[in-house]
Amino acid sequence: MKSRTRKVGVAVTAAASVAGVVFAATPATAAAATVSIEYGASYYKGTANWSNRSVGVNGSFKATGCRRVYARAFAGSTTLDFKSSSTWCNRSGPANFTLDANVVGGSDNIWVYMTDENQKYLAGQTCYRTGYCIDGLH
């Protein structure tokens, strides 16, 4: 009877070790990042939220003149997905994007940026899964 108890204890310890490895490989819950891009009277302001296999970017877009907003998801320096609004001229409203990040660990950073009607870069931010954005595309 003594050896049977020992085997059960080993099985429980092995299962606990496997469970620990599975949890360690799962990405941590990401903090939301606040996006704020301004160029003259035009702006895009919103929030980026990460999940395991996608990034949601939800914001308000105001175009003075003709402007377009882009969002691009990365894993390191590898592009995962790319979306854009249409060109907006003297208009405002919600502009939301869902970016696919269908790789192990998902996206760790995104670019959100604004161009004019000729796709000339005007302003942008790089946002990180850890919950912050910095000006420029890095």
Kindly give, in sequence order, each residue whose CB lies less than 8 Å from that of residue 1, ignoring residues fewer than 6 positions away: none
Closest CA to 110 of 33, 22, 21: 33
Mean pLDDT to the nearest integer, 9-36: 55
Burial of 3 (0-12, 13-18, 19+ CB in 10 A): exposed
Greatest CA separation for the chain: 83
Rounded to two decimals, the pTM is 0.78
- Higher-confidence residue of 52 and 127: namely 127
> How confident is the model over 14-24, as pLDDT tens digits?
444 444 433 33
